[in-house]
Structure 1
Amino acid sequence: MEDKLQNLRKAMDSTTHNGKHFTEVQKAKIKQKIRSVKTSESHEPKKHMVFGFTAAALSILVLLVSTEFMITPSIKEPNDGSTQALIDDWEIRNEYEENGEVLFSVYPDPGLSAEKPYGYLFNFTAPFDTFEGKELAIYAVHKETGERITVLAPNKVVNPPSGYSSLERFTTNFAVPAGGIWKYEVFVDDQLYGNVIVSVREKQYEEREEAPINKDWEITPTFTVKTENGERVFQGIEGEIAFMEMEFKVGQEGKTRWFIWGEDLQEVNRENLVVIATHKDSQEEKVVIDSNHWEVSNPEYEDESFKSILGAQASQHAVFSLPSSGLWRLDAYVGKKHYRSIIVEVEK
């Protein structure tokens, strides 16, 4: 009997008594030892031997099962941060607090936009030894699509920035692939340290005219045009830019037609019509139209053409949606030139 127990003890080396839990290899060794003991027994074993061995085997099996249930939940899976729970908070903020204490702040480049690397300054308030020798990583999550990317791969912190005794001026450069609201998650040794929420503008068009800011954010009024078939309502500034009135609901695509006036415009223009939407509260930006599908009037229906009735030089059909409720400013460009802004309200 003592020989059998010795065999079992050998199989149990490095198991949960000395480590985290039984591995599959260790389980296999135990089963193999049990089988070897069975086959070495005579065909007519003594009753007390059978009882003793059975009790020992049952004890081992119970230990295997109970240990699995007790130990498995605490196993730390290797990861890049992707398995950590995310805080469902998308309000724009450049600071992260815990228990009323700011752990870090972030200061992006003022010209921050998508698809181009920009500089970020992170101000960590904890002493340097909080990070020394540990790996620091940053991941970015896009609110609208859920896309998650690594913007700063895990990198061991060895020294503070030159001239400083802590990470109060930790700088890095990276780009995100799309405009909108992004959550930047900071991890220290694979543990979520905190996050900040940043608004990133859509890809900037070089030398594009800046849109004048409408501080009042008043909804742009509508106007009505009469035709032989009735009336049609437009939203915008007649004689400058307008579109056929459409219903705005969160995430719901609507089809409309834009009309643009301008002596420098042609019926078909070389540059695209670009409409960039900006949310009043979050300052989230979204390119809702980027198209060169300029429409050409059919002379046979000249009298019935809205473009002719309105006297607009150019027009385009468009389908687009807006991702959240509230007031949005639609800035319309043809190429680099800004024409006008239209304020609309999106319902939930």
Structure 2
Amino acid sequence: MNDKMKARPGWYAGLTETPFESPAWTEEKKEALRTALRSGPESGFARPRLKKRAAVAAAALLLVLVAAASLGIPSSGAPGIAGPAGDESWLPRSQYEVGGVVQWEVFPGGDLVAGKPAGAGWMIRKPLAELMGHKARIVATHRQTGLTLVELPETTIDETTAVEFDRHLSSAFGAVDQTRLATDLALPLGGEWKFQLSLDGEPQGDVVLNVPEAADSWKPSGSFVSGPFEMTGVKDKLAFIHPGFVAGKGNKYMWHFWGTDEEIGGDFQVFGVKRGSGELVKVFEGQVRPSPHNGADAAIPSSMMLPSAGAWKLVVTINERWFGTVVVEVREPTEQEAAEAARQNQSNE
């Protein structure tokens, strides 16, 4: 097993298993589908082709409905999609089709909710042998804020990164050979997310998922002690020594990270999203390198300022992948603090 596979969390290995709680295609279901494909009256001259086509269409519909029922996916699409009429690019869909034929699709695993990894299987309707050696990448874009994240870094498809799935399953179009890629499907914000798949840098279409917010997603993050300091954040994940936030006033904050060298090394960015606003603010960026500090596996000093009072999510990415989120409350400045902030801003200009 290579270092990349070792670095993944323990539950990641489970994504190589089928995302269904029970087999989606039992032998009975497969046989029923085969029977439906073969069925149809043998006699009758006037419209035999029409009847056969109806049987094939019914079987194909059965295939879609059974799969959707097994996954708990509503056939009418996800609720909550907003936007101008006619903006079909953001309509909810878990499949990408060309000419009515599915090219690839996504199956979220577990309960998909913002702030928690759900895991997902990405099914490409091609056999593994045909995809071997090609490089796949998946990028996610949040509709409300424009935040863009890497869901799957550029990955060479082979037996260690992909699995051939349902090789002998019959369909109206013959044998279905699919190759499955697995990802964390971890998203920091609720709302509509568009996922774009590319192979060797060439776009292969997109799908859109509606991700609900957790009920407590705006609850301020808790505190804990690491080394000699009290920190605010997510224990054993990420946190910073927290002197508090005053609207419009910059301050220094020492970020701390826990994880493998692969997870915590690279380009570090902090984005701010205020509750009730779709505005995305870049708060800080820098480079983080693994180096133990205050009981953490890495640390980096930062200077951060949030422009207005209220609840804010600090969304942290490393190498364009979501690493974690810290929720903070920003208070209004006193008159003295406002004057100091104005002087500070003038000196920075």
Fold agreement, TM-score > 0.5: no
Structure with the higher strand share, 1 or 2:
2
